[in-house]
Structures are given as C-alpha cells and as structure tokens.
Structure 1
C-alpha cells in the first residue's frame, strides 16, 4: 500500500496509478482528482457551486487589479498561489502570505511567472481561540465514509497559522457535513484532510484547504480498537470488512516540540487544556465538548514519544537541541549583537541593505 504524505506525492501517485497498480494497493479514482482538489482556485469554484462557505476571493489579472483588491477584501489579505506544489526552493516565494498593503499585493502578482501558477487574494478570517478545525476521513467506493472525525486545533506552530501542535478530537456536525458533502460530490476515494476556520461575521465555518492525503495528526482519530484511517484503507483495499468505528472524543494529539514552542511564544497566555465552555463553543458554531484534559481511557497521542520505543523522541530532541545551539551561535556572531571588550558594552552597527525596510510577517500554510 502506497500512502502520500504531502500534496505533490498524492498528485503524482494518482497520475501514475496505471503503472503502479499491481505493485501497490491504491484507491481507484480519476488520475487528475487530487490535483484539482489541491488547486486553490478550483477548490474555491467547487465550494461556490456546492454552497460550502469559502473566504471571498479575487483572482487578479494584473498588478493593478491586485492593488485594487483591498477595496473589496479589506486589509490584511491572504495571498495564495493556486498550485503551491509548483513553487521552487529558489523562488523565495511562500505558498501563503499575509498581505498588508496594496503595493505588496501588486509586487506579488509581478512574481507570478516564478510561482508557476495564478495569484489568489482572499479575505482574511480573523483568528480567535477555538476557530480552527479539521476533518480526517477515509472513503471507500460508492461514497462510503468508513472512518472519520472532526477536531479542534488548540495550539499551532507558527502561532495562529501553522500546523497542529496540539489538537483535540471534538464532534462538529457542521464541519463533518460539509466535508461529507464535498467528498461525495467529487466521488473521492481514499484518505483526506480538510481545514476549516470559523468566521464570526457570517456565523459559519469556511473551508480553507483540501489535502488529498494523510494529515500529520491522523492518529488523533484512533478508535477504542485501534482503528484509524490508514488501517481502514488497508482493510478496505484488501477486501476485508472495516469494523464500525468506536469513537473516542476527547482524545488529544500533541507534537511535543511544536507545542512547547507555541506555549513559549504565546507568553503563557495559551491554555491548551481549557475546556471549551458554552460561550466559546456557541461562538464557534458547535455544541460544547464537555471534556477537559483527556482521561487515561481516552488517551493522549504523542507525535514522538512512546514508552516502548523512545528512539524517535531522542532523535527529534537531538536534532532540535543541535538546531538551537547553531541558531544561538549564529546570533552571537551576527552584526548588531552587543559584544564586551575590557568590561564595556560595545554596540556594533547593524548593516541595512540600501533601500531595505522591515518586511511584513508572513503566515505559512503547513500538512496536518
């Protein structure tokens, strides 16, 4: 069985399926379907046809149209490249950027040739606690959803925009119904991972991304018998029945390294094990989960640590410790760091490129 871990792998596996069949177990679906769903422009059009909420979007045909987009979308805006897998490492472009001015939008549009796909400008949906949700599922033939779950992103890294550092399995009927309707409409078969954000202005959950592959936190949705989307796909593709899931809402997934960074960067303001009370749950459009920290029975799924195999955790810790040492050493060597000589603090002037200015913070979109 061949399982994609990112969008570009899912796209190529589907395109090469006729040559891979016989060597690997693969879900049967149109070879171009993963690419169409991962394409941000096509996904927006699909949501519009199905009536699934999606952030308002402008697709500028020129730099002038990009500069005029704030009149319709406001500032800041979210800038995305429709096919982010075409970005090259040397382009200096990011798949998703938070744009703070009309001039920045125009400059991004001028780099379209380097990006390899069209620039999309979206209305920014403000972040608030409990606003980010995700759906994971496995779909068999005849649009059968065999395993599924919805979860709430409690901590992320980078803050407010990145991958799930800590997530909780929490039922959300609105998110689930939107995901099921979309998957059924396109005849999707296989594992998928969808991202949603609550929009206070419209009072609905908006679909942000359709990832036609495994999400990083898929083990969060492991039932009481150990069934998850990967095991469900294996059973289904080998012709064996997939048992009815025995769900465990309240389970927690934690990526230890990113959760620590998120907590530190939040200055202690984040409350990762806060129970979603009635007020916050109503504001996010779903009933309260009524669950505090996951119990022993519900469990916590760690990304790295396992008592019976600590090698992955130790490897991760060694890599991160080494990276922290290198960054600290480079920071001390960088111009602008205060040095001491003969007991006096000597500030070193910081070099600034001609015409340079402080860049706006970017918000990168990452695999869940």
Structure 2
C-alpha cells in the first residue's frame, strides 16, 4: 500500500469512481470532503468521509481541507476535484492549499481559458477542427433597463449553454436545465431572458444543433503531464446520456471502442492551450457528413471517468506517475498508459435492458449485446472489494429511479437526443 492519500471533494458517482481507481491501483483509502453523505460515497470501505455540514460555503470547505492537511501532516496528500465550481475554488485558494496538498492542475489562467467554450471554439478554428456554428451572447448588462437579447444569425434549431458553467451551476430557478434548446428565434429569446432574470451575467453560447441521437456522441479523456506529454488517452462512443433536465449531457453508458481521429484532435487542442492535467471532451459526429464536432472541454476528469478503467487505463496511475517525487514514491514512475490498443467494454450505471431499447442501430445493438454476454458491462459502483448490503440497496434503488427518469423525460429515442 502506498503512503500517500488522495483527497477528493464531492459526493457523486464521479468522486466514487476516482476513489475506486486509486484503491485498485495502490490500495489507498481516499479522504472525501463533502457537505453531506450521499449514496455513492456512503458506507464505503475505501473512503474516509469528512463532513463539512449541509449548506457549507467556500470558506468552510477550504477550512475543512486545511484541517485535513494539518491532521495528516507528514503524509503526502493529492487533491482532486471534479466539478466546475470546485475547480474554481482550487484556483482561488491555491496559495493557501499548496503547502498542504499536491495539486495536479494547470495554472489558473490555463484552467479558466480551457473551461470557456468561446476559447474552445476559437482554438478549434485555428486548428481546422470542426465545432458547431455559434454566436456568443453576453449577459453582463442584462440587468439594465431596456436590455434585450440580440438577434441571432444562426440556423435553427439551436442549443444554448453558459460559456463557463460554474456561475450557472450555482443558480436556482424554475425551468433550469444544463443545456437549453430552441427551435425558433422567439424561443431562444425567451431562454436568454429567463437566464438574465435568474441572475446570470456571463456569456451564453448559442450553437446550431448537430442532429443525431445519443449514439452520435463521442467522449475523450486525457492526462497531460507537466512536461506537456499526453500520458493517458482513452475514448469511446456514447450509448446513452441522462435526460433529466439538470443532468442532460452526462454520459450514462459508453462503449469503449477507440476513436483515433478524435483523440488526435483532442491532443492538438490541449497542446495549443498549453494544458496540463486531466481533460475531458464532449464530441458529436454529424450523421450528414460523418464529421466530428467538438462541443465542450471540461478541465477535469469528468463524471463518467470509470470508463477509462473499463478501457484498460487506470487514471490514478497517470497522475501519480507525474507527481511521484512529491507523493514520496522516490522518483519517476513509469506510465505506459498511452498506447494504441484499448480494451473494448461498456461503462454503464444503467441496466442493459434500458440501454438496449434506446439502441436503434441493429449492428451497434449486437456489438453491445456481445459485450454484455462476456461480462464486460461494468457498473462503477459494483466493486468487489467494497461490498456492503446498504450499498447494494442504494445501487438497486438508484437504478429504479433512473428508469423512472427515462420514462418521464425521454420515453423514446429522438433524432436529436433531446
């Protein structure tokens, strides 16, 4: 067992998946700092929970992290976060946190640029990489009397999303969604006005909708070390995303077949940005011409990160190899993770019976059925070394709720996936 400890923020499936990766690779228990216990991290044998208290803000969270640092003085601590607002928390408080933690993130300037969808679009344009036609709408002056959204010079339908997600994530208002859609200019105008009334004062990116249902989606995750080398790369085809309004865009089932062309483009974008650390890209292939369009760059490992392990590439090994000396491992550790071969499997926290009914392509359905028969259909919470009847019950109850959500919000596959 290694002597270092991962320290994580949050309670969701992605946080548990990171803890599982570290436990599989090094046998270490992660310390998870959170406002409250939730199913994915509760009753776990691989996690030590530190509760800050419901409603705790940034000041209390940072204080709890510093307390963890002091209580574990002498043990190298690796700080990992996996949400937009948590990345910003680390950026704002890095000077206070760095004496206690190894922080495997790029500089604040690079992280801020990488999280901005306008920057991604401009970077892709320089590199000749496809992105949807888009128009930025700045809501900075939306509180002034007489403000009105500008006319949009785009082909409808469109999707609307904050250029930087963190501010929008913290807002609470009726009709909130992760991504908004509009089939007419009037509908887009209404969405922009609702966001303005809710208090959003950031840029909203309006993009022409790339057609095609969920299976046209692709995902790519990379780790770039401090020397600028990509030491981990994995990709896959989206099978099904969540469709509950505030969760749409979260990949729930991924076939880990490699996507070489998209991987090369992702690496080029990260080199252009001077990015280091974990990054996850959302991509959609236009069924009309087969061209991949880059939609989002998330400067973090992403919620469905356990798909990397299903592909045969444990992400914990990449970050530990990069910071081996700081983590007390005595020097460089080999990281033979970026190689052409990738294991084929399915990452899914949805049951096969549900995934199957949304796969409209017979060939793809047969491929995934073969994976299911060979038991390469993997649920991130189904960890043999972390069994507890209460966790088994949570997973079953969560599955029932997810099936209900699909019945309510996405009863049948659609041509757009929305």
- The structural deviation recorded for 1:119 is 2.3
| Residues 1:161 and 1:130: Cα distance change in structure 2 (over 3 Å) | same
1:317 is matched with: 396
**Within 5 A, what are the aligned runs for 1:13-28?**
13-27=90-104
Deviation readout 1:269-308 (Å, 9 max, x if unpaired): 57696256xxxxxxxxxxxxx9942675x93331222344
- Residue of structure 2 equivalent to 1:228: 314
Residues 313-339 of structure 1: CA deviation (Å, up to 9, x unaligned)? 3223245658999xx9xx9xxxxxxxx
Alpha-carbon shift at residue 229 of structure 1 (Å): 1.5
In the superposition, the TM-score normalised over structure 2's length comes to 0.64
Residue pairs, 1:11-90, within 5 angstroms? 11-27=88-104, 29-60=106-137, 63=148, 65-66=150-151, 69=152, 72-87=153-168, 88-90=170-172
Please point out which of 205, 209, 227 is paired with 1:120.
Answer: 205
CA distance in 2, matches of 1:63, 1:175: 38
Alpha-carbon shift at residue 116 of structure 1 (Å): 2.3
Per the alignment, residue 335 of structure 2 pairs with 243
* 1:147 corresponding residue in structure 2: 232
Alignment of 1:198-277 (within 5 A): 198-222=285-309, 227-239=313-325, 240-245=332-337, 247-256=341-350, 266=358, 269=360, 274-275=365-366
- CA distance in 1 between counterparts of 2:192 and 2:402 reads 34
Q: Distance in 2 between matches of 1:192 and 1:272?
A: 31
The aligned residue for residue 346 of structure 1 is none
CA contact (8 A) 1:154 1:272 kept: no
> Among residues 152, 156, 174, which one is paired with 2:241 in the alignment?
156
Partners of 2:112 and 2:131 lie apart in 1 by 19
Alignment correspondent of 2:377: 300
Residue by residue over 1:136-164, the C-alpha shift from the partner in whole angstroms, topping out at 9 and shown as x without a partner, is: 11110221111111111112222995322
Shift of residue 47 of structure 1? 1.9
Contact 2:223–2:276 (CA under 8 A) maintained in structure 1: yes
Q: Which runs of 5+ in 2 are unaligned?
A: 1-77, 139-146, 326-331, 409-413
Alpha-carbon distance between aligned partners in 1 of 2:249 and 2:105, rounded to the nearest angstrom: 31
Whole-angstrom CA distance in 1 between matches of 2:229 and 2:272: 12
* Cα separation, partners in 2 of 1:41 and 1:260, compared to 1, 3 Å: farther
CA drift at 1:53: 1.0
Pairs within 5 Å for 1:172-191: 172-191=259-278
Kept in 2, the 8 Å contact 1:156–1:262? The answer is: no
Conserved in 1, the CA contact under 8 Å of 2:284 and 2:293?
yes
Q: 1:165 to 1:272 in 2, by over 3 A?
A: farther
Q: Distance in 2 between matches of 1:251 and 1:305?
A: 15
Gaps of 5+ in 1: 277-289, 332-360
CA distance, structure 2, for counterparts of residue 179 and residue 189 of structure 1: 13
Structure 1 residue 211, shift from structure 2 partner:
0.7
The Cα offsets for residues 184-221 of structure 1, whole Å up to 9 and x where unpaired, read as 11111111111100123454211111011112222222
Give 1:106's aligned residue. Answer: 189
User: Measured at CA, do residues 314 and 180 of structure 1 come closer, stay the same or move farther in structure 2, by a change above 3 Å?
Assistant: same
Q: CA deviation at 1:6?
A: 1.2
Higher-Rg structure is 1
User: By how many angstroms is 1:263 displaced?
Assistant: 5.2
**Structure 2 CA distance, aligned partners of 1:37 and 1:208?**
12
- Partner SS for 1:141: coil
1:25-55: CA deviation from partner (whole Å, max 9, x where unpaired): 1125221222221122222222222322110
Higher mean Cα deviation, 232-241 or 205-214? 232-241
Does the 8 Å contact 1:60/1:120 carry over to 2?
yes
> Taking structure 1 as reference, are residues 250 and 309 closer, same or farther at Cα in structure 2, changes over 3 Å only?
same
The 3 A distance-change label for structure 1 pair 195 and 129 is: closer
